[in-house]
Amino acid sequence: MNKLPYLTTHLPGIGGQIKTVPDDFHVEEIPLYQPSGEGDHVYLWIEKRGITTFQAINQIARALNISSRKIGYAGLKDAQAVTQQMLSIENVSPEQVTVLSLPKITILSVKRHKNKLKLGHLSGNKFRVKIRQTEQKSLSKVEVISDYLLKHGIPNYFGQQRFGYRNNSHRLGFALMQNNNTEFLAEYLGHPQPHETPQIQHARSAYDANDLDKALKLWSAVPSSEKSALQTLIRTEDESKAVNSINKRLRRLFFSASQSHFFNILLTQRLPTLDKLEFGDVAYIHHNGACFIVDNPDDEQARADIFEISPTGPLFGKKCLAAQGEPGRREMSVLKLANFELKNFAVPSLKLKGGRRPYRIQFSNVHVDWDNCVVISFAVPAGGYATMVLREFMKTN
């Protein structure tokens, strides 16, 4: 993901640094619904500290001796943070869950419900973020930027988390879409990056040099899906089996990252007119998530001005409603420049249908404070990234 332009370029940022320690970044999921108290699934409200959602799920699954696939989640939360979120587990008792004692995870409440929690089953997230290395006089800048964003909206970019710590999840998704197993494994197991540990860099270099045994030896001390894929490749000499040995949930994230990459490109093109409608736009109705084609932008603009509706970008897939007119031409042009077609997004095994995503979102419950540094609290709807809000204030990478 290349550097993304700011909406508030004309307003100076405050600089600073976030996530110095996990306690600087607090996240609380806003559930879409509360568990009813009856059903075959146990909903647990957890607080995790300094680990990913997947790491938390895997810890809980091991402790209960069940498959991680039996654990549902509504959204992925930051690792370098203190986060509260809901998980669901099928066919266990509340008592089995309540007694768990796990590092970096606290189980706050447990209650039964009738269905599995699925990705997207959340209303949004609340954040409280300390921006360190800031000055108290910066508070006035924060207020000015906040007022502008409340009026025009937050650019609804997909954040860095979507593209992985190696910033290459979208490229892995491209390879999956093209059924190019060789390229996928080269990107997944090779191509060392400077921020990785020396051992991992050496392992990736060995893969690039086609020394698979050496690469596996270097990966051996690191439990990872990379090691598992490499083991499968050496054992079977079959690239397809090596790729398919990777957790389907993870492969689905790679595919989603490719959708996100194209969305971000189109959003950067639309940024100067983020809150304006065009003929042929697919508009998003914020209160219910419905979409419609804009035939008369002049008639609909008043609704956009009060944030009732917003223009959208595509998450390419078979159920993505195509824009028309100039917005539609821009969408097809982005695909063509990357040598892709819509049919490339039809990967049956991953079952990603596509859709539309608003180019902007509202943030709410904004509060700014000083605690030896700037402290910002706010809420964003489901799918929004706190980092995309914070970058407008900070103007740092």
- Name the burial class of residue 117, with classes exposed (0-12), middle (13-18) and buried (19+) by CB atoms within 10 angstroms of its CB: buried
Closest listed residue to residue 188, CA positions, set 146, 153, 160, 230: 230
User: In angstroms, how far is CA 242 from the centroid of its own chain?
Assistant: 25
Q: What angle do CA 46, 29, 129 make, to 5 degrees?
A: 100
The two tokens of residue 387 are 């980092």
The two tokens of residue 376 are 């910002």
- 281-303 pLDDT, tens digit each: 999 999 999 999 999 999 999 99
**What mean pLDDT is predicted for residues 5-13?**
97
pLDDT higher than 70, residue 200: yes
Average pLDDT, the chain: 95
pLDDT higher than 70, residue 1: no
- Please give the CATH number for the structural domain made up of 33-119: 3.30.2350.20
pLDDT at 272: 95
360: enclosing H helix or E strand: strand 360-361
pLDDT at 329: 98
The whole-angstrom separation of Cα 345 and Cα 350 is 10
pLDDT higher than 80, residue 397: no
Active site residues per annotation: 78
222: enclosing H helix or E strand: none
End-to-end CA distance of the chain: 12
- 73-110 pLDDT, tens digit each: 999 898 899 999 999 999 999 999 999 999 999 999 99
- 234-246 pLDDT, tens digit each: 999 999 999 999 9
Map residue 199 onto helix, strand or coil.
helix
Class of domain 169-249: mainly alpha
**What mean pLDDT is predicted for residues 376-386?**
94
CATH 3.30.2350.20 for domain 273-361, yes or no, is yes
pLDDT higher than 80, residue 317: yes
Q: Do domains 33-119 and 273-361 have the same CATH topology?
A: yes
pLDDT at 259: 96
Chain length of the chain: 397
pLDDT at 346: 83
**What mean pLDDT is predicted for residues 302-312?**
98
Which sign does the torsion angle of CA 234, 235, 238, 242 carry? Answer: negative
What are the start-end ranges of the H helices in the chain?
A: 53-64, 94-98, 139-152, 169-177, 181-189, 198-208, 212-219, 225-236, 239-244, 248-270, 297-305, 325-337, 386-394
Burial annotation 28-47 (CB, 10 A radius, 16+ → b, else e): bbbbeeebeeebebbbbbbb
Give the residue extent of every domain in the chain: 33-119, 169-249, 273-361
**Sheet of strand 282-285, all strands in order from the earlier edge strand to the far edge:** 291-293, 282-285, 309-315, 355-358
pLDDT at 2: 56
